[in-house]
Amino acid sequence: TEAHISAVEASKPLNAYIESTSEIARTQAKSADAQIKAGNQKGMTGIPVGIKDLFATKGVHTQACSKILDGFKPEYESTVTQNLWDDGAVMLGKLNMDEFAMGSSNETSFYGNVLNPWRLKTAAGEKDTVPGGSSGGSVSAVAGFAAMGATASDTGGSIRQPAAFTGTFGIKPTYGRCSRFGMVAFASSLDQAGVITRDVRDGAIMLESISGFDPKDSTSAKLDVPNFEAALTGDIKGLKVGIPAEYRLEGTPQEILDIWDKGIQWMKEAGAEIVEISLPHTKYALPTYYIVAPAEASSNLARYDGVRYGLRETVDGDGLIPMYEETRAAGFGEEVQRRIMIGTYVLSAGYYDAYYLKAQRVRQLISRDFKEAFEKCDVILTPTAPSAAFEFGAKSDDPLAMYLNDVFTVPASLAGIPGSSVPAGLDKDGLPLGLQILGKAWDEETVLKVSHVLE
């Protein structure tokens, strides 16, 4: 714990942590010690982890890296983090992220950019790269050896894409596997907690700790949590790995296609059977996601009114409505305001049927595609993202270019199925690339088993 507290301090240039909780860490480490001495050691006992800023931590700032939650300290603990503390884990601090988890590069945080420890090597020297998003702080801390693991959340790819950008392992379990209680809501039908670790075994142990039914979240599933570590048998002989034709998108850089081909080769060498599959509605996933997610966000974010949480902008003598307006204008960043406007638009009378309802129908078709595909295979292998980490500012002025980075991750989010990103090698500039493994609902075990063989 002491070594990690120093590592958190030393990681300041990365801006991965927005708050360090070293005193809490020391207290927890002492009880972890006692746990070990009493012979009660659990999977996470004494393991120092970082917590993404959207998990409510009792008495510790929780702001989803938004100005609007300035100063907010919850009176309660999220179930995911409580599960970790119950298993003996140690909290190092709160981790930077895109504001309300909206973004793919961690450039929308009120607390500033997070640096990727991996830098771009050019003839003119090294350049900073984004860590991916929205869990930029989580991956940067883990890749930068300033945490053994980190909690993260994935609404459309925020665990898998940043994991790919930083050479870390990330897994988003099935929707409902972990409780959303105490997680700042972005898009409730998509939000799912998960973990970032340096390898698959750590990921399996930490995922098991945060999973499980919670009566405080009506969408959490009443299912037993398997022993995820036991799934890492190293044996995938005869397992069927699906390769979806529709993910071979025009314009995908050759090096991404190459790493995908290598992944296919590695699977074959490990004794898996490669099966060509089709997910015909893939091309509609991105537009569908960027209707459903903002719609739910606009509704969830209505609660930040200057009365109940954090920031309040006062306007002399003008009353309630101007106070709402001033607070929301000052408290939400540009990307969040854009999502609220899109979301409000697609939900408004007259447009609801044309956009939101239609998007919900397409979402069903995307789910059905996966169900049919999984009749022919056990897992699906694809690239995690259409590029490696990019430079700051490369896409931040062009929301569409930024949204395109989620093209391979959003379909699984819409279908609610589990997915991981596994480090698969480096590109020509020396930056990490990831491969994505998608599994059947509730079959995280096979996703982990295959990830373990691939890593």
Contacts of 352 (CB under 8 A, 6+ apart): 346
In the residue annotation, 278 being an active-site residue is answered as no
Which of the ranges 10-18, 153-161, 347-355, 430-438 carries the binding residues for ligand GLN, by CB under 6 A? 153-161
Active-site residue, selected from the candidate residues 20, 52, 179, 298: 52
75: exposed, middle or buried (C-beta count within 10 Å: 0-12, 13-18, 19+)? Answer: exposed
Which one of 79, 81, 134, 327 is in contact with ligand GLN (CB under 6 A)? Answer: 134
Please tell me whether residue 154 binds ligand GLN under the rule CB under 6 A. yes
Burial class (CB in 10 A: 0-12, 13-18, 19+), 238: exposed
CB nearer to ligand GLN: give 316 or 397.
Answer: 397
The residue type found at 321 is I
User: Is 428 among the catalytic positions?
Assistant: no
CB of 97 to ligand GLN, least distance (A): 8
**Residue 421 sits in the site that holds ligand GLN (CB under 6 A):** no
Please give the Cα distance from 264 to 246 (Å, whole number).
Answer: 16
Three-class SS state of 35 = helix
Range 277-296, binding ligand GLN (CB under 6 A): 293
Q: Which of 48, 137, 156, 343 binds ligand GLN (CB under 6 A)?
A: 156
Applying the rule CB under 6 A, the residues between 75 and 104 that interact with ligand GLN are: 101-104
Question: HSE of 297 in the Cβ direction (CA atoms, 13 Å)?
Answer: 26
Provide CB contacts within 8 A for 326, sequence distance 6+. 306, 313, 314, 315
Min dist CB 156 to ligand GLN, Å, is 3
Minimum CB–partner distance for residue 403 and ligand GLN (Å) = 7
Q: Which residue stretch of 48-56, 148-156, 274-282, 426-434 sits at the interface with ligand GLN (rule: CB under 6 A)?
A: 148-156
Q: Count the neighbouring beta carbons within 10 Å of the beta carbon of residue 254.
A: 8
Angle at 428 between CA 256 and CA 392, to 5 degrees: 80
CB 272 within 8 A of CB 241: yes
Binding flag, residue 131, ligand GLN (CB under 6 A): no
Our finding on whether 158 is near ligand GLN (CB under 6 A) is yes
Catalytic residues: 52, 134, 158
Q: Which residues bind ligand GLN (CB under 6 A)?
A: 101-104, 134, 154-158, 186, 293, 406
